[in-house]
Amino acid sequence: MDPLNIPARSNLALVLARTRFLLLALLAVQSSAAQQLDSTAVDSLRFYELADVMVTATRGSDRLGDLAIPAEVLTQDDANARGATRLSDLLGEIGGYTTVHAFGTGVQVQGLGSDYTLILLDGEPVIGRTSGTLDLSRLALHDIERVEVIRGPFSSLYGSDALAGVINLISRTPTAPWQARASARIESHETTHTAVDLAMNQGGARAGLGFDGIRSGGYDLDLATPEPTTPRYTDYTANGHLAVPLTERLTWRVRGRLAQQDQREGVNVSLPPGSMPLTGLGLRTDWSAGSELEQRFASGSKVAVRLYTSRFRTETELGSVDDLLQSRFDQDYSKGEIQLDALLGTKHLVTVGGGAILEAVEADRLRGARRTSSNLFAFVQEQWLASRLFELTASARFDAHSDYARRLSPMLAALVKPHERLRLRASLGSGFKAPTFQQRYLDFTNAPAGYSVYGATDLLASLDELEAQGLVSRYESTFTSGVALRPERSFSVNAGAEGAPFDGLQVSANLFHNTVSDLIEIAPVAELTNGRQVYSYFNLDRVQTQGLELGATVSPFSALSLTARYQYLDAVDLDALEAVEAGTIYRREAGRDRPVRPSEYGGLFQRSRHSGSLELRGILARPDLTVSLRGTVRTRYGDYDRNGNLVLDDASEYVAGHALVHVTLTHGLTDWLTLQAGVTNLFDYTNPARMPSQPGRLWFGGLRLTTAAD
């Protein structure tokens, strides 16, 4: 097909525009929606499969290939072939998404930390971060149809936290009249995992119920430390959804989810005789409920009203019977919003929306029993289908928050399709991350370690109190009062290309550059008469990440595919880099102090310069066997400063580079019974001193039952 031979440009544009609204229809690949497309449109999609629909990037339904920003979709097949049951399992095996283990499993996108990626479940934010990490192992994949990932700043649509990208988990849409699935498996460390799903689609009404449960014996890699590496726990998730067509064009959807992790069995540590036994308990509960009313109009426009509420609660206890450190965290999030998608003419698709968010937090370590804040927002997006070859998307969002300064977040993205097999993309935008509750309201004293941390909002009040008690011995010279905390903000540029040079080969490349400034860091404020240090949060640092993401999938025939991904990353603290270049940061070598050379500066901690993954997937029809052999590799990365200069510069500060290999075999015994076995970290790579979270080789085996093929 000659890309310049366009039968009826305006007609095609209309069709393309309309497909953007056909969310549910497009999800069913063989639905009538696909047939409504004229043959030209279908042809042009040959290399970008219809199934790869993305709703995250434009808050509407788009084909992945038609997006102007770097995006990808990980499907249920991707998760199933690997045997991944949690989002952390899935992302951790895919190059470009580095999982980091601190207060749970978080993910780095484009070299930015896990607190810069927004996590959504069916388009609504998942709440509950601990020290910035939203633990991805909280998110069970049993009922997830696909995981959409967009990279780059999307505060222009989603507000706070969407600096590095957005990960949106999309629940399964029932297609069969009735379907039931169940799975059970056993894993290393006395772990059992069960999941059950029921789904129905009757007369346009869809409903589903799901349950996912894990019971694990935990493990201890380092017997020298009193606490096990991972304690025993149980974890379950229950979810349900219902979509009812009230009229031909009006649909009501409702969703709910409840998840709980329980470590109440405790950590009972045997210490030398005479010492106090230590216990550690943890209980985490989160739930969410959402309701959406969507009215579609004959013009192709639609309006949706959504209400969403979520709660995240943790209770932990740590210590001995006599000296128990108890801590409680309880977060509420409620949001109401309205979104209008209007097709203006044949070339303009405009989305406008707005709403309000109310948040409340209650915690032992926060000042005041319960703190509340509110956020009003409005956003607008224009998708301009300028021509068959060129599309432009512009969006902006305005956030007015009760606790920090107003933010306007713009984004502009362009897509060029010079050839049916080639897509060129460029985008630039700005994102922001609000100061966390901790950074705003924390009131925490760690007496054994001799320090206190106060949130920025309450710092002055806390210092006044301490001063009234005569406890302040002196202030840090760097401390100046009266500077309000601002949100962290980013500016990003992405430019890339994606193509299918010939059938069976897809390649992509993306260059990225992110600058985040006003990073909120902890810094000393004062010293008390009892020697205690007082810390608070300030807008201090600037970081920059830039690099290249490459991907290639070779599929010489349909039964076999090989996917390779690579990321080159250059991530630096700009202030540290300036200091190194100015020669004011020193290191000690053979008893002498000398300036760190710029070539020795290793950039941000926890970042590998090179990382990548490789997956070989073979699917045999007879016998029904799927083999997934895959590996991840990353070069060395820093963990902590050890030589006192706070920057990464010394060999002792690096964790050695390593490769991990995983294999999963899936065998369909009958139409309704599938067996699966797998090994993660096949060669048992461990590094207890520097990677305590790496448990070594793990195996799993189990079965899946299903009433009908998907």
Under the binding rule (CB under 8 A), the answer on residue 699 touching another protein is no
Q: How many CA atoms lie within 13 A of 343 on its CB side?
A: 22
Cα–Cα dist 196/704, whole Å: 10
Between the alpha carbon of residue 285 and those of residues 47, 130, 237, 315, the distances in Å are: 43, 14, 10, 9
Nearest distance from residue 465's CB to another protein, in Å? 19
Under the binding rule (CB under 8 A), the answer on residue 274 touching another protein is no
Q: State whether residue 705 is helix, strand or coil.
A: strand
Under the binding rule (CB under 8 A), the answer on residue 131 touching another protein is no
Candidates 236, 252, 444, 475: give the one binding another protein (CB under 8 A).
475
Contacts of 42 (CB under 8 A, 6+ apart): 34
Under the binding rule (CB under 8 A), the answer on residue 101 touching another protein is no
| Per-residue x/- track, 648-687, another protein (CB under 8 A) | ----x-----------------------------------
Candidates 10, 204, 299, 640: give the one binding another protein (CB under 8 A).
640
In the block, tokens 């799927």 appear at 626
In the complex with another protein, the residue whose CB is nearer, 390 or 475, is: 475
Candidates 594, 620, 659, 671: give the one binding another protein (CB under 8 A).
594
Nearest distance from residue 586's CB to another protein, in Å? 2
Q: State whether residue 317 is helix, strand or coil.
A: strand
Buried b / exposed e over 285-307, threshold 16 CB at 10 Å, is bbbbbbebbbebeeebbbbbebe
Q: Which residues pair with 546 in a beta bridge?
A: 513, 570
Nearest distance from residue 587's CB to another protein, in Å? 5
Candidates 593, 599, 622, 651: give the one binding another protein (CB under 8 A).
593
Cα–Cα dist 683/92, whole Å: 17
Under the binding rule (CB under 8 A), the answer on residue 330 touching another protein is no
Select the span of 71-79, 288-296, 339-347, 526-534 touching another protein (CB under 8 A).
526-534
In the complex with another protein, the residue whose CB is nearer, 145 or 476, is: 476
Nearest distance from residue 362's CB to another protein, in Å? 25
In the complex with another protein, the residue whose CB is nearer, 475 or 568, is: 475
Cα–Cα dist 225/280, whole Å: 14
Under the binding rule (CB under 8 A), the answer on residue 345 touching another protein is no
Q: State whether residue 48 is helix, strand or coil.
A: coil
- Amino acid identity of residue 539, one-letter, is N
Using CB under 8 A, which residues numbered 532 to 551 contact another protein? Answer: 533
Asked if residues 565 and 551 have their Cβ atoms less than 8 Å apart, the reply is: yes
Nearest distance from residue 449's CB to another protein, in Å? 7
Query: Does residue 231 have a cis peptide bond before it, meaning omega lies within 30 degrees of 0?
Result: no
Select the span of 51-59, 156-164, 192-200, 448-456 touching another protein (CB under 8 A).
448-456
Under the binding rule (CB under 8 A), the answer on residue 476 touching another protein is yes
In the complex with another protein, the residue whose CB is nearer, 624 or 639, is: 639
Cβ neighbours of 663 (radius 10 Å): 17
- Amino acid identity of residue 272, one-letter, is P
Select the span of 175-183, 457-465, 497-505, 643-651 touching another protein (CB under 8 A).
643-651
- Could you tell me which of 540, 373, 363, 519 has the C-alpha nearest to residue 443? 363
Q: State whether residue 542 is helix, strand or coil.
A: strand
Interface residue list for another protein (CB under 8 A) = 323, 447-451, 474-478, 524, 527, 530-531, 533, 584-588, 592-595, 640-646, 652
